């Protein structure tokens, strides 16, 4: 039998995992999702009280309408969606 040369193989010291699933959700997408959840349901929108925290103010109000880039409240305040840091439904 012919002897073949040995091939140098480095010992594997640790396992590598390159097949992990990674998902990043931007803050804007998160806010949009929260707004959409508030708009869902059978209860009229003006009955839903929300707490909206923006970069400069905090509002405890009810939403009247959603436009493409802003929310309009029952007390006639226009809140740009891109300034919202946090929004949540209260009772």
pLDDT digits (tens, 9 = 90+) for 30-78: 889 998 888 887 888 888 899 999 989 999 999 989 998 999 999 999 9
Does a structural domain hold residue 68? yes
pLDDT digits (tens, 9 = 90+) for 24-39: 667 888 889 998 888 8
The more confident residue out of 63 and 21 is: 63
DSSP for the chain reads: -PPPPPPP-PPP-S------------HHHHHHHHHHHHH-SSS-GGG-EEEEEESS-EEEEEEEEE-SSEEEETT--EEEGGGEEEEEEE-
Does a structural domain hold residue 28? no
Contact 48, 89 (CB under 8 A): yes
Does a structural domain hold residue 34? no
Does pLDDT of 9 surpass 70? no
The total of structural domains in the chain comes to 1
Whole domain around residue 90: which residue ranges? 47-91
Does a structural domain hold residue 1? no
What's the pLDDT score for residue 41? 78
């Amino acid at each position: 039998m012919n002897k073949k040369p040995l091939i140098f193989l480095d010992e594997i010291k640790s396992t590598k995992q390159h097949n992990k699933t990674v998902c990043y959700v931007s803050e804007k997408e998160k806010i949009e999702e929260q707004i959409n959840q508030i708009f869902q349901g059978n209860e009229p929108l003006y009955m839903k009280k929300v707490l909206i925290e923006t970069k400069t103010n905090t509002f405890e109000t009810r939403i009247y309408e959603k436009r493409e880039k802003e929310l309009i409240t029952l007390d006639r305040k226009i809140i740009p969606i891109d300034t919202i840091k946090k929004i949540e439904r209260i009772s």
